[in-house]
Amino acid sequence: MPSRKKTSMFASSFCTCVSSFVVICVVLATPQWVSSEVRFSRTGSTVTVSLAYGLFSGTCEQFVDAGLQVSKTSFQVSEVLSSTRSRSLNVATIVLLVLALLSSLLSSGFTCTNAVSNPYQTFLGPVGVYTWNSVCGVLILIAMILFPVNVEGNSLSEELAHSCSSSLQTHLGSKHSYGYSYWIMLLILFLNIASLIIIYFYDHARYSKKKEQERPIENAPKDVILF
């Protein structure tokens, strides 16, 4: 059976890993990734398309000239994307988050195993927790970079806006505001870092204790040496 200290520290790390898993599920499930206002010119008027969307779905509204609302519709992102680059980056972001979800699940399993037992295999111990937490953090960080690149670089909002109306002409400008579904990925990074710190302190304390038990003989009392 593991010591009380090991159980408590790995249990704390388990809680952070499970929290990370839950937050990733929220990120995937909610559509509040970005809100955009895209302005277009149309014969005799100016149209502003207001969008709020995530990786899978979103909504859009049209406002003509002085704020006259024309319609509000829902759309599926994968169905309205025609650009190969935009579609590819959107799929890549989803894949990264799914892999991060699996990494977080594995990390939760490793920390739970160490909280209740002493695995013989080295990789099932702190090394495995370090590995899967680091993988999860890196995947989340890449996803946080890819999504704005898709929005800003590939004009994702402008492309989605055309699904609201077929009569839009010249693009005049866009404003983007990233929502909570995007920013809470920072919380996932924080939880992964917290888990790594907890396991590091446990591993460092265990290593220090082991070195104390392996003190060289010259540090032993003289009477013990003579004996």
Residue 198 is part of which domain span?
Answer: 4-203
The residue to which tokens 């002493």 are assigned:
118
Please check whether residue 219 lies inside any domain of the structure: no
Confidence tier at 224 by pLDDT (50, 70, 90): very low
What is the token pair recorded at 45?
């008027």
148 within domain boundaries:
yes
How many CA atoms lie less than 13 Å away from 151 in the CB half-sphere? 24
Burial of 122 (0-12, 13-18, 19+ CB in 10 A): exposed
Query: DSSP assignment, residue 52?
Result: E
Quickly state the pLDDT bin for 68 (edges 50, 70, 90): low
Specify the number of domains making up the chain.
1
Q: What is the DSSP letter of 121?
A: S
Rounded Cα gap, residues 227 and 151, in angstroms = 77
pLDDT band at 148 (very low <50, low <70, confident <90, very high): very high
CATH number at residue 167: 1.20.140
Residue 33 lies in a domain: yes
Q: Residue 187 falls within a domain, yes or no?
A: yes
Model pLDDT for residues 104-122, shown as the tens digit of each residue? 999 999 898 888 887 767 7
Q: What is the pLDDT of residue 103?
A: 95
Say whether pLDDT at 52 is over 80: yes
Contact 33, 151 (CB under 8 A): no
- When pLDDT is averaged across residues 176-181 and rounded to a whole number, the result is 93
Q: Is residue 212 part of a domain?
A: no
Residue 208 lies in a domain: no
For residue 15, being part of any structural domain is answered with yes
Q: What whole-number distance in Å separates Cα of residue 174 and Cα of residue 156?
A: 11
Which pLDDT belongs to residue 47? 83
Q: Of all residues in the chain, what percent carry a pLDDT higher than 70? A: 83
- Asked whether residue 188 is assigned to any structural domain, the reply reads yes
Residue 145 has pLDDT above 90, yes or no: yes
